[in-house]
A and B are shown apart, each in its own frame.
Chain A
Amino acid sequence: MKLNRQDKLLLNEKALSVRAETLKIHGLAQGTRIASSLSPVEIFVVLYYGGILSYDPANPMWAGRDRFIVSKGHGSISLYPILSDVGFFDKRELGIVCQKGAIAGAIPDPHIPGYETINGSLGHGLGVASGVALALRARNRAERVFVLLGDGEMSEGSVWEAIMFAGHHGLDNLIVILDNNKACMLDFCKNVIDLEPIEKKIRLFGWTVKRVDGHDIGKLYNALSIFKGQSTGRPKFLVADTIKGKGVPSLESDPLSHTRNILPDDIEAAIRGLR
């Protein structure tokens, strides 16, 4: 279960174009969270273009789909260009984000085809996903439940209620991807609530844990394809080490990048700087 060189090149090109599209959206919709949306780009690319997720854009609620619950919804504006590209909604929506009549705002809701749950408040996604995983298991369904969590979100107590629950019940159809971008709103996470050693902690709760470079397409693909195929009696947790604001140097090292905007006049330069 490895990508060949050609596939990796193709997916890296996709990631580059998704970052550029995301910056364009942010240029038009300054209320969107750009730094936290740039960190999970490769995760989204591997899920949607790498063949990890089963989905049907013509029938977003298709019973045979893998469920993907984006728990850090504010930081998933980069999913908009992917969902529109694969056919969930018209590309014209990308040019009117946050405007009157648009389906997509600064924080995605199930108005947007492809989003399963409500977003905006952190710490809800994993508990809901655990219920979905339980339901699929009760019906002997083969679909998987993927969840994207943010590392700042891990401070929410409800996340740990769900981690204990899923571990106890051995929900091996549940796959968490932690977008470990190291920063919350006011500082780097290690200065606020240090998650480390995160692998050890999660493993002790009964999960199978892997850790990869969250910008390495090949490694993300390997880990997620193995997780998807495994039925080990344990839920799975992929720590994807990422960089908040990835691709935009002024954001990458800034502990306050969460609320930083790239002004509309600077978007073109930021896109040129991606390469």
Chain B
Amino acid sequence: MTGTVRTMRDALIDGLCDRMREDCSIFFLTADFGSPALDRLRLTYKNRFINVGIAEQNLINVAVGLALEGFTVYAYAIAPFISMRAYEQIRNNLSVMSEFYQLNVNMIGVGAGLSYDVSGPTHHCLEDISVMRTLPNIDIFSPSDWVLCDKYVDYSIENKHPKYLRFDGKPQPQIYDNSVEPDIKKGFYELIKADTVCVVSTGYITHTALAAIKSTSTGTGLIDMFFLRRFDEHALISALSNYETIITIEEGFIGKAGLDCVISNLLEKAVPECRLIRMGFKDNYEFELGGRDYLHEINGLSQAALIKTIKTATEK
């Protein structure tokens, strides 16, 4: 199921460019961060594209001001900076103010997880899901491929509340092709259905999980979570309840408020007999160099580590 290689941001921005032709209520703001697709957008829609400069706090505040007046806004920056440099702007002016107003601000953070593998902890983004999940009223979209981003364009325009979009920084092959038609509103997709052990993943590491499961003959399920809030909870509980063991794997800290906690909350509530194994980053920052695969390997997140975990879980 792997096909065209593309960046998530280009898929979303290309889709937006098409919508901006007819929809004059869309503004695109960036904190001096670009992409090839953005070059087209900023040349075509000069009056609705603004580079606020390297100023993430102002990026969010200006976006909020535009949204208060009814514009649909996309605010684009590097993931750790938009999610954490501007955290109080997001908290007060999007999360809190959404109690009063409809604010369609779509925060696009590029560089989820270890996308920027050689740039060190300031560019690694292992906390964004956790910090965003603690805020009421903010949706989280964590896609595994660009096809989902393309589908998300219409959803993001039509659903008028604040959203955090965490995109991988590098081009990735598509997971979803014509034979797979995920319902974006459902928030997850069962890539492989099985009956004993299931891996639940989000973002880039779904590629690792897919490859790992395909390389074994263990009959392991795989659920790709692309919404970490406002997903179809009933359907997800129904899917999880088919299994004895769930393994969550994510490019993020575990035991805080990330994917593992989304799943553990559901299991505790609805499938308490199901065992949960959490794979992700432990409670420290990573300074090692050597590429994303190597960093995964030394943090127990490689394909081999997942296969080993699956096998152990299957044998028990």
Contacts and interface: CB of A to CB of B under 8 A. Distances in A.
A129 interface: yes
A128 to B, nearest CB: 5
Given A128-B61, A158-B89, A164 B53 contact: yes
Contacts of B52: 161, 165
A135 B69 contact: yes
A13 to B, nearest CB: 34
A162 B66 CA distance: 14
Nearest to A156: B57
A127 B65 contact: yes
Of A118, A138, A162, most B-chain CB atoms within 10 Å: A118
Interface residues of B, dominant DSSP: helix
Interface string A131-166: 111111011000000000000000001100110110
A132 B61 contact: no
A162 B58 contact: yes
A180 interface: no
Contacts of B50: 134, 169
A110 interface: yes
A115 to B, nearest CB: 10
A165 B53 contact: yes
B57 A157 contact: yes
A74 interface: no
B92 interface: yes
B229 interface: no
B84 to A, nearest CB: 15
A41 B58 CA distance: 29
Say which size band chain A's interface belongs to. 20 to 34
Nearest to B47: A138
Given A127-B58, A165-B52, A134 B65 contact: yes
Contacts of B71: 135, 138
A54 B63 CA distance: 24
A99 interface: no
B68 A162 contact: no
B89 A131 contact: no
B97 interface: yes
Nearest to A134: B66
B65 A135 contact: yes
A110 B101 CA distance: 9
A229 to B, nearest CB: 22
Interface of B: 27, 47-48, 50, 52-53, 55, 57-58, 60-71, 88-89, 92-93, 96-97, 100-101
Given A128-B65, A162-B58, 8 more contacts: A118-B92, A118-B97, A124-B93, A127-B57, A128-B93, A131-B61, A131-B66, A158-B58
30 contacts: A116-B68, A117-B93, A117-B97, A121-B92, A124-B88, A124-B89, A127-B57, A127-B58, A127-B62, A128-B62, A129-B65, A130-B58, A130-B61, A131-B61, A131-B63, A131-B64, A131-B65, A131-B66, A132-B66, A132-B68, A132-B69, A134-B62, A134-B66, A135-B65, A138-B71, A158-B58, A161-B57, A162-B58, A165-B52, A165-B62
